[in-house]
Structure 1
Amino acid sequence: MNCTSLRRLAAVLLMLITVNALNVNLAQAEIKLPAIIGDHMVLQQGQKNPLWGWAEPGEKITVTVDGQSHSTTADNNGKWKVTLEPLKVGGPYEITIKGKDSVTLKDVLSGEVWICSGQSNMAWTVGSSNDADLEIMTANYPKIRLISVPQVGTQEPQDNFNGQWEACTPETVKNFSGVGYFFGRQLYQTLNVPIGLIDNAWGGSSAEAWVNRKRLEDEPAFKEMLEKWEKTEASYNHEQAVAAYNKRLDQWKESVKKAKAAGKAAPRRPRAPRNPLTGNHRPANIYNGVLYPTIGYGIKGAIWYQGESNASRAYQYRKLFPFMIQNWRNEWKQGDFPFYWVQLADFRSEKPDPADSDWAELREAQTMTMDALPNTGEAVILNLGEASDIHPKNKQDVAMRLARWALAKDYGVKVVHQSPRYKSMEVKGNKAILTFDHVGGGLDTFDVTTPIGFTIAGQDKKFVKANAKIVGGNKIEVWSDAVANPAAVRYAWADNPVCNVQNKEGLPVTPFRTDDWPGVTINNH
């Protein structure tokens, strides 16, 4: 290669280096936004809303919208944050974010924003719900906006996720949360304001996975649970688990060949191992990977459908569930925002005689949370479950019961929203007279006129089926000839209870027991 060629090569290399350096500098200076902040988003009306992102450290950032202008400087890590004054409901708005470069967010609306969270029954899609074909073809709501957060389990807080806001259409709604969409649609149809829905549900998740681990570590009640996880974290090796699985898989393949040759049924394929370290049960995994990137975004409140994965630890859930809610509220810094959940549905086989039930105890823990925290509410769905399917497909009625809470408590709509709830018991002879709160238009029954679902016991703690009679708008008389001196009454106390008491608006009576005798999950941590 001659000198001229070398000079040309050097010039080309210098140009490439210069362009590359320029690109690096441009990339450093580029304004970046998290996925939760983007085109088509909905900002919570009636309150100030934080916006944030990243730029070059020390770079001045100015955000303008609808006559507002807010300036700040990116910190040493390049992060910046401003807070918008409330925007008038409606839109669309354009938001300009200007530093060394400029980004314009388009088609931004101001309305009501709700988080749709929990496990698989919240994740259950519109496309898998009742009347999916009809629901999808009519889902043309350009002022309802949807965004979903992918499932990432990690112990490291994530600043961002892969997702984007989209207008509600038949194409975008199909794989969105059924409960979330039907809830949002009811709000939209009632309030006629834009609705933003954030779906971050993760099927099979445990409540402890949704909580900041440092906060869990500060609470003695969760010490035993965390110690178990620390042992798993120290000993589990996923590569070894995969290697062992592959060995079993090879053995299975040989067994299939032999079974086929012998004309016998093939054995069941072994299940591939799931890594508990990146899964949906490990404490704080979902908090860090799913919830954290959205914390601080302006919201009205949250709806929640979870508990199945914690049923075996129902007594612990009495503490854990309100602890989780309070953790969210503390970190969101929006005060005691509304938090409404779905009580576990009826599931598993119906049993002919009274028995202990971890699902009944979990329902009880959920109900107790209403007394532990303000601005909370429970949708009772004992009549919407399916015995053989943990995922009942009637998500429409589930969502309506949640929407009743929001409409009544947060939007001033006069509608019956809370299921009747046990208040007190008075014993007269061999009869227990129960008084209820929140009866709406009065106590009623479904299908047959006689109230069913009650059991009664004396001091021997042996429950038997009981007779019952509605004796007033808010009272029920319960008795059994087998119990001369009643000590306790239970209602709908089973995995899949046979029961029929409701108010005249069709909201089922909240399952309850008048006793506090130790349950089957009391020692499970």
Structure 2
Amino acid sequence: MNCTSAKRLAATVLALSCLYLMNLNEAQAKIKLPAIIGDHMVLQQGQQNPLWGWDEPGTKVTVTVDGQSHTATADDKGKWRVNLEPLKVGGPYEITIKGSDSVTLKDVLAGEVWICSGQSNMAWTVANANDGDLEIMTANYPKIRLISVPQVGTQEAQDDFNGKWEACSPATVPNFSAVGYFFGRQLYQTLNVPIGLIDNAWGGSSAEAWVNRKRLEDEPAFKAMLEKWKKTEETYNHDQAVAAYNKRLDQWKAAAKNAKAAGKNPPNRPRAPRNPLTGNHRPANIYNGVLHPTIGYGIKGVIWYQGESNAGRAYQYRKLFPFMIQNWRDEWKQGDFPFYWVQLADFRAEKPEPADSDWAELREAQTMTMSKLPNTGEAVILNLGEASDIHPKNKQDVAKRLARWALAKDYGVDIVHQSPQYKSMEIKGNKAILTFDHVGGGLDTFDVTTPIGFTIAGEDKTFVKANAKIVGKDKIEVWSDAVAKPVSVRYAWADNPVCNVQNKEGLPLTPFRTDDWKGVTAGVE
């Protein structure tokens, strides 16, 4: 190659390199928005709403919508944030964001935004609920907007996720949370405003997985739980677990082949190992991978359906559950937003005689949370469960009971919303006279006129089935000929209690006990 050709080649390479760098810089100098902020989203009415994203550090970003304009400068990590003034309910609005380039968000509505969270009973889909086929074909609600957050378990806080807002339709609703959708639909039909629903539920998840790890570490009550996890984190090797599983699988295949040849049933196939380090029980895993990318987005409140995975540690849940709620509220920086949950349904075999129950103790822990935090509420669903299925398919009535709380407490609708709850006990001879709060139109029974589900005990702490009689709008008399001097009364204290007391509006009496005797999950960490 002569000198002239070499110079031309060098000049060409230099030009192409410059062009490549210019294109690279241009490609990098783009506004990036998180999935939670996009076309078709719903912004919470009546409050300021944060919008955020990323651009080149130092870039001035301007956001305009409906006559208002806000400017922010991207920090050294490229993140910027503005707060929109409240938008009038309705829409659609267009939001323009200008920085290194320009992005326009279309079909944005202003209305009511709720997070639908918890474990599998919240994740349970519309398609699998009662009359799922009918529900899907009628799900034409373009002003209800849906977004789902994928299940990512990690100790590293995530800033984004793979998802998008979509209008509710027969095409988008089948795999969405059934409780979430039915709740949102009830609000929409009652309030006639746009509804935004964020589904981030993860089946089988433990409550501690939804909490900031630093907050857990700062609380002495969770020290033992975290120490157990630290041992797992230091010793667990997933590659070794998979290798061991593959050996068992090879052995199973050989055994299954021999069984088939002999005309016998094959042994059960071994279960593949789940990595606890990326799963839904490790403290903070879901907080980081699922919740964190949405923290700060403008919401009205949260509906929650979880507790089955913590039932064996029900006494711990007394502190853990309100601790989790407070953690969310602290980090959202929207004050004490409403938080409503579903109490555990009836499940497992019915017991012929009174017995201890971890599920009863978990229900008790859930109920206690209402007295520990403001703007909280519990939907009691003892009459909606299925003994042989931990996933009751009647999600419509579950959602309605949650919606009652929201409509009454947050939207000014005059409606009975809270289940009757134990207030006090007076002993007269061999009878206990119980008084209840929140009885609505008065105490009532379902199916048969006699109240059932009560047990009674004396000082020996031995419970027996009790007789009961409604003796006033808010009072029930309980007794047993086997207990001369009653000390304690319990109601619906079982995994799957046989009980029938409700108010005249059909909301079941909240399970309770009048004693504080040590339970089976006391001290379990």
Which letter does structure 1 place at the counterpart of 2:412? G
Partner of 2:379: 379
Which letter does structure 2 place at the counterpart of 1:440? G
- Correspondence list, 1:123-134, <5 A: 123-134=123-134
Shift in Å, 1:15? 4.4
Partner of 1:390: 390
Q: Residue 146 in 1 paired to residue 146 in 2? A: yes
Partner of 1:268: 268
TM-score for both structures, normalised by structure 1: 0.99
Partner of 1:438: 438
Shift in Å, 1:29? 1.4
- Correspondence list, 1:498-517, <5 A: 498-517=498-517
Q: Which moved more, 1:14-23 or 1:178-187?
A: 14-23
Partner of 2:324: 324
Partner of 1:234: 234
Distance between the aligned counterparts of 1:352 and 1:14, measured in 2? 86
CA 25–523 in structure 1, closer or farther in 2 if over 3 Å, else same: same
Q: Residue 345 in 1 paired to residue 339 in 2? A: no
Distance between the aligned counterparts of 1:12 and 1:441, measured in 2? 87
Partner of 1:109: 109
Q: Residue 474 in 1 paired to residue 474 in 2? A: yes
Partner of 1:210: 210
Give a deviation string over 1:426-453, Cα, whole Å, max 9, x none. Answer: 0000000000000000000000000000
Shift in Å, 1:26? 1.5
Which letter does structure 2 place at the counterpart of 1:238? H
Distance between the aligned counterparts of 2:138 and 2:482, measured in 1? 55
Shift in Å, 1:14? 3.6
Shift in Å, 1:195? 0.2
Distance between the aligned counterparts of 2:465 and 2:262, measured in 1? 53
Which letter does structure 1 place at the counterpart of 2:27? A
CA 3–273 in structure 1, closer or farther in 2 if over 3 Å, else same: farther
Aligned residues: 525
- Correspondence list, 1:296-335, <5 A: 296-335=296-335
Distance between the aligned counterparts of 2:448 and 2:3, measured in 1? 101
CA 271–13 in structure 1, closer or farther in 2 if over 3 Å, else same: farther
Shift in Å, 1:193? 0.2
CA 243–16 in structure 1, closer or farther in 2 if over 3 Å, else same: farther
Give a deviation string over 1:96-135, Cα, whole Å, max 9, x none. Answer: 0001210000000000000000000000000000000100
Shift in Å, 1:87? 0.3
Distance between the aligned counterparts of 1:12 and 1:243, measured in 2? 53
SS in 1 for 2:183: helix
Which letter does structure 2 place at the counterpart of 1:204? G
SS in 2 for 1:406: helix
TM-score for both structures, normalised by structure 2: 0.99
Distance between the aligned counterparts of 1:43 and 1:285, measured in 2? 27
Mind listing any 5+ residue stretches in structure 2 that lack a counterpart?
A: none
Distance between the aligned counterparts of 1:144 and 1:182, measured in 2? 11
CA 254–12 in structure 1, closer or farther in 2 if over 3 Å, else same: farther
Runs of 4+ residues deviating >6 angstroms: 1-5
Which letter does structure 1 place at the counterpart of 2:255? S
Partner of 2:461: 461
Partner of 1:524: 524
CA 27–491 in structure 1, closer or farther in 2 if over 3 Å, else same: same
Partner of 2:258: 258
SS in 2 for 1:50: strand
Give a deviation string over 1:122-168, Cα, whole Å, max 9, x none. Answer: 00000000000100000000000000000000000000000000000
Distance between the aligned counterparts of 1:2 and 1:362, measured in 2? 85
Partner of 1:73: 73
Distance between the aligned counterparts of 1:325 and 1:430, measured in 2? 42
Mind listing any 5+ residue stretches in structure 1 that lack a counterpart?
A: none
Q: Residue 173 in 1 paired to residue 168 in 2? A: no
Which letter does structure 2 place at the counterpart of 1:521? T
SS in 1 for 2:171: helix
Give a deviation string over 1:316-355, Cα, whole Å, max 9, x none. Answer: 0000000000000000000000000000000000010000
Give a deviation string over 1:361-384, Cα, whole Å, max 9, x none. Answer: 000000000000000000000000
Shift in Å, 1:12? 5.2
Shift in Å, 1:24? 2.0
Identity rate, percent: 86
Partner of 1:358: 358
Give a deviation string over 1:158-201, Cα, whole Å, max 9, x none. Answer: 00000000000001000000000000000000000000000000
SS in 2 for 1:171: coil
Which letter does structure 2 place at the counterpart of 1:228? K
Distance between the aligned counterparts of 1:489 and 1:199, measured in 2? 39
Aligned CA RMSD, in angstroms, stands at: 1.1
SS in 2 for 1:303: strand
SS in 2 for 1:33: coil
